[in-house]
Amino acid sequence: MSAPIVAKGLEGVVVGNTALSRVEGQIGRLTFRGYDIHDLARHITFEEAAHLFWKGELPTRAQYDDLKMQMAHARMIPNHVMQIARGLPKNSEPMDALRTLVSALGAGNPLKQPDLSAVMMLTAQTPILLAAFDRYRRGLEFIPPRGDLDHAANYLYMLSGTEPTAAQTRALNVYLVLLSDHGLNASTFAARVIASTWSDLYSCITGAVGALKGPLHGGAPSRALEMIEAIGKKENAETWMRAALAKKERLMGFGHRMYKAEDPRAEILRDLARGVCAPQLFELAQSVEQTGLQILHESKPAERIYTNVEFYSAVILHAVGLAKDMFTPTFAASRMAGWTAHILEQVADNRLIRPDAEYVGPAPRAVKAIDQR
Ligand code: ACO
């Protein structure tokens, strides 16, 4: 019998079908249900993206108004979850808080099987969980959500207590739309694996949040901004980045398993950042980006490494006023639309996901009694 092919990291392995998003990494194209993300970023809000994923089409005006109203009504958080948010150690990482609070939403919840109403509710609740935890840890009172504000604006309002400007709301909406789905990335796959066991929605999303947290996935943007800040001046970029590579560190915000051309989201976010962030920071970020690309192309010519979505995400989320450690949780709030749509897709045509592994451990052997080992 020939040896099985081991696909480490499942690279290149197709494990199922999806009608949600298509990542064409070789040509740097990303489409959501057939719509190019450049087109979507110009025209839609996060709620419209969620409708597209959950229901298959962009909403009409009436459907949009209805979804916004339903999501605004779904923003209530049960008391026990608010108590947990208040009781978490103030130094908890917000991603740990989100993982815990999503899990707590599932406890005692009779409506936890994934369906349209449950996924809409959890998506609407996510920014509220984040804003509640963020304010409690800062010793501030919870600010109740405002029904007249959309998903993006309400999130910024609840964090800061000030109604965001139209430009801030627009920037966050574009970010939330762009990050809302991306094929079978690690966290989405984790959610689908859990869904495939017929587990509940909150278990699927708790697992997805855990997967997103890692720096090789969604945990990079705060580190990208830290890198830009540590570099400080464009003259320092080359020395700083070469020193990091010499220490075998990775330059955050560069490289992607799927993209062997520029990540189209990075291109859109770069343009957006030019408009919303302080000119000095934008210039520094651009110069760090150019230097990073040059050095990475030099040191890894075969890898075709480009700027990934995290690099300018960091700059934009900073520009709309978010603390660094809220970047990845905000990514989670966006990806909630995609995760939940993937869960619905998985359960609609389910087969337990259960891959195999090539065993490389010891040959069969006998157990010795404890005193004879
Ligand atoms: N900095 C330095 N070296 C890099 C980078 C980077 N950003 N990206 C890739 N490389 C190098 C690796 O060291 C490796 O070299 P080696 O074979 O000599 O060890 C080679 O390029 C291939 O790297 P892999 O990790 O095998 O490539 P993969 O396609 O799996 O990597 C990944 C993708 C994990 C994102 C990688 O590019 C990386 O670590 N980037 C930095 C972290 C980051 O920006 N994460 C956010 C990703 S975007 C997202 O998930 C939303």
State pLDDT tens for residues 138-181. Answer: 999 999 999 999 999 999 999 999 999 999 999 999 999 999 99
With a pLDDT cut of 70, the percent of the chain lying above it is 100
CA of 241 to the centre of ligand 1 (A): 15
* Confidence category of residue 1, pLDDT binned at 50, 70, 90: low
The atom number, within ligand 1, closest to the CA of 263 reads 48
pTM of this prediction exceeds 0.85: yes
The catalytic position among 289, 310, 318, 342 is: 310
Active-site residue flag, 38 = no
Q: Which two tokens stand for residue 55?
A: 């229901």
Which of 305, 317, 327 most suits a substitution to test ligand 1, by most atoms within 8 Å of the C-beta? 305
Tell the burial category of 58 from Cβ atoms under 10 Å away from its Cβ (0-12, 13-18, 19+).
Answer: middle
Per-residue pLDDT, 217:
87
- Say yes or no: domain 221-319 is CATH 1.10.230.10: yes
- Residue 93: count other Cβ atoms within 10 Å of its Cβ: 13
pLDDT, tens only, 294-319? 999 999 889 899 999 999 999 999 99
- Please, which pLDDT band fits residue 219 given cuts at 50, 70 and 90? confident
Q: Is 178 in the pocket of ligand 1 (CB under 6 A)?
A: no
For the domain made up of 35-216+326-348, the CATH class stated in words is mainly alpha
Helix (H) or strand (E) holding 240: helix 237-246
Say which residue the tokens 């406890």 belong to.
107
Measure 121 CA to ligand 1 centroid, in angstroms: 35
Band of pLDDT at residue 220, cut at 50, 70 and 90: confident
314/54 Cα distance (integer angstroms): 27
Establish whether residue 179 lines the binding site of ligand 1, counting it when its CB lies within 6 angstroms of any ligand atom.
Answer: no
Tell me, using a 6 A CB cutoff, whether residue 300 lines ligand 1. yes
Task: Provide φ and ψ at 21, rounded to 5°.
Answer: -135, 155
309 lines ligand 1 (CB under 6 A): yes
pLDDT of residue 24 exceeding 90 = yes
Catalytic residue among 256, 318, 342, 345: 256
CA distances 213 to 165, 167, 219, 225, 358, Å, are 29, 28, 5, 16, 28
Express each pLDDT in 51-109 by its tens digit: 999 999 999 999 999 999 999 999 999 999 999 999 999 999 999 999 999 999 999 99
Atom of ligand 1 minimally distant from the CA of 311:
44
Residues above pLDDT 90, as percent of the chain: 91
* Separation of CA 254 and ligand 1 centre (Å): 7
- Is 338 a pocket residue for ligand 1 (Cβ < 6 Å)? no
Residue nearest atom 37 of ligand 1, based on CA coordinates: 255
Question: 23 in ligand 1 pocket by Cβ < 6 Å?
Answer: no
| For the chain, domain boundaries | 35-216+326-348, 221-319
Q: Does the structure show a pLDDT above 80 at 2?
A: no
- Read off the pLDDT of each residue in 17-32 and give the average, rounded to a whole number: 96
- Under 8 Å CB-to-CB from 217, ≥6 apart: which residues? 185, 186, 187, 211
Does the C-beta of 253 come closer than 6 Å to ligand 1? yes
Mean pLDDT for 214-228 is: 88
Which protein residue has the closest C-alpha to ligand 1 atom 1? 250
Query: Where residue 205 falls among pLDDT bands split at 50, 70, 90?
Result: very high
Take residue 25 and report the two structure tokens written for it.
């990494």
Quote the crossing angle between the two packed helices 264-276 and 279-299, to the nearest 10°: 150
Q: Does residue 218 register a pLDDT over 90?
A: no
Q: Which atom of ligand 1 is nearest to the CA of 224?
A: 44
Mean pLDDT computed over 254-260? 90
**Angle, helices 79-87/94-106, rounded to nearest 10 degrees:** 150
The helix/strand/coil state of 87 is helix
Mean pLDDT (the chain, rounded): 95
CA atoms within 13 A on the CB side of 124: 23
Residue 318 is a catalytic residue: no
298 Cβ closer than 6 Å to some ligand 1 atom? no
